[in-house]
Amino acid sequence: MQNLVTVFGGSGFVGNQAVRQLARAGWRVRVAVRNPSLGYRMRLLGDVGQIDVVQANVRDAESVRRALEGATASVNLVGVLYETGRQKFQAVHVDGARAVAEAAVAAGVTRLVQMSALGADSAGFSAYSRSKAEGEAAVRAVRSDAVILRPSVVFGPEDKFFNKFATMASFSPALPLIGGGQTRFQPVFVGDVGKAIARAVTDSEAAGQTYELGGPAEFTFRQLMEMMLEETHSSGACSCRCRSASPAFWAAWAISSRESCRRR
């Protein structure tokens, strides 16, 4: 087996695929998560003893340091879509990313991979995109050869994009379309993102690079919603079920989603 890689946030939607690919490549994997009891199934993704699960919180520098002891590589996948409690964009995307980078340098880690997001922009409209860009800068300030990955909308089993709207479609007579549904996306399969993460860890030529990850085709938001309705066999004509939504609707939807996250 190769050396040890610590994957922060490795029990999540993308993390599952990253851990699976790293294990297949022969790495020993240490999955660092806030609540290890929720990540016990991660050990089933590799051979006996190949994958371990430990407690770590990117907001706690000491726990990050412990999680990186003896590691050769580090992958930080920790992120939040909505702010809840102490899980703020600044604390997680910026300060947390910096904490992982600093601890990685102190531990002698030779490869650092930071997950960002497509559209990360320090002058962006949303606090989410600004914090992602600031996190990239914080990591590169500590480790200039860090690999930055910026995935587009990620889809697959248990994703939070298509499944969110599929749930809405199950009880709503129409689906909202921001900007008239003409916003374009290039969705990428979660398994491909996992492979990209594993390659970023193992490929020496990736050092210091920033990669934008997208699928093979572009779609408008309307097209994505219509495909989702067709695949889920939702009743009614697709073209009649999509409606433009006002900014007020999206604000209310974001609040409801945040409340749902709190309850979970």
- Dump pLDDT digits (tens) for 1-26: 459 999 999 999 999 999 999 999 99
Q: How far apart are the first and last CA of the chain?
A: 37
Contact 186, 218 (CB under 8 A): yes
Q: What's the predicted TM-score (pTM) here?
A: 0.83
At 243 the pLDDT is: 53
Tokens of 50: 């190949």
Span 219-260, pLDDT tens digits? 888 888 888 888 876 644 444 455 554 444 444 444 444 444
At 129 the pLDDT is: 96
Domains detected in the chain: 4-154+187-213 (3.40.50.720)
| Rounded mean pLDDT, 103-129 | 96
Span 34-51, pLDDT tens digits? 999 888 889 999 999 999
At 178 the pLDDT is: 67
Label residue 180 by pLDDT band (50, 70, 90).
confident
| Rounded mean pLDDT, 87-111 | 97
Residue for token pair 């989410």: 128
Sheet holding 147-151, edge to edge: 51-55, 28-33, 4-8, 73-76, 111-115, 147-151, 210-213
d(CA 58, CA 100): 7
In which region does residue 69 sit, left (phi positive, over 0), alpha (psi from -120 to 50) or beta (all else)?
Answer: beta
Beta bridge pairs of residue 52: 30
> Residues near 241 by Cβ (< 8 Å), separated by ≥ 6?
169, 173, 174, 175, 229, 234
Span 137-153, pLDDT tens digits? 999 999 999 999 999 99
